[in-house]
Amino acid sequence: MSAPTQDRGALICALRGWIERLEAGGSVDAPPALSELLQPQEQAFYRQVAELTRRLHTAVVDLRLDDRLARIAGDAMPDARHRLRHVVKMTEDAAHKTLDIVDQMRGVARQIARNAETLDTSDLRRAALLRDADVLRERLNELAIAQEYQDLTGQIIKRIIALVEDVEGALLELLGAHATHLKTPAPLPIPEGQVVLAGPAVPGLITTSQQDADALLASLGV
């Protein structure tokens, strides 16, 4: 809000007068001339606030009339959370099943090695079998460690479940009784996350490689 040029001089003059009066120990009330000068601006400001309030009120009423939102918050979002949890559970079961089989195969690899050791050391099959058993053991390790995708994808999905839950709660709050009492300041509807951890690496997120981490740790004496 800028005062028209012709008012500028008058405004400065009124302010000077006020300061002089304050310095002289006079009344702290704004001089009538100043109030008069500022009044049109105050009115414009209040008109803007009133207009914004009206638009906000209309928006909230429209929002509440839209029953699609109620359906989304009431059914679709809990359903989405349920499905995401199911995905985490399915990958968990699959990973455990794979790890079960890896355990069994490790036993087989050990048995092959034990049987090979009963062969005479001059028998060429002995060394070959021991080597094969070792390769088998290493590959099974890789297979086991590949199952860490379940942890990583699970962490990412759990973050999304928490986000959906927060948005769902905020929507229900907005659609519920609180929406009619906009006079009272509502509490922050979406709680701030308790941890600000970035979580598993995803495309577009700047992360540190193990090598960079090692260098950083070394510089810190770890």
| Residue with Cβ nearer other proteins (92 or 173) | 92
Quickly count: other Cβ atoms within 10 Å of residue 14's Cβ: 20
CA pair distance 195, 204, nearest whole angstrom: 20
According to CB under 8 A, which residues from 194 to 213 bind other proteins?
195, 197-201, 207-210, 213
Q: Does residue 47 come out as left (phi exceeding 0), alpha (psi in the -120 to 50 range) or beta?
A: alpha
Question: What residues from 102 to 131 belong to the interface with other proteins (CB under 8 A)?
Answer: 102-103
Tell me which of 64, 81, 147, 173 binds other proteins, using CB under 8 A: 147
Dist. CA 92–CA 4, nearest whole Å: 70
Contact between 157 and other proteins per CB under 8 A? no
Q: Which two tokens stand for residue 60?
A: 């909230």
Binding residue (CB under 8 A) for other proteins from 58, 111, 115, 141: 141
Choice between 128 and 198, CB closer to other proteins: 198
Cα gap 139→51, rounded to integer Å: 69
Task: Find the part of the chain contacting other proteins (CB under 8 A) among 2-10, 56-64, 126-134, 145-153.
Answer: 145-153
**Residue 56: which residues within 8 A CB-CB, separation 6 or more?**
182
Phi, psi angle pair for 25, to nearest 5°? 85, 20
CB of 216 to other proteins, least distance (A): 5
Q: Which is nearer to other proteins, 157 or 174 (CB)?
A: 157
Binding residues for other proteins (CB under 8 A): 92, 95-96, 99, 102-103, 137, 141-142, 144-145, 147-152, 154-155, 195, 197-201, 207-210, 213, 216-217, 220-222
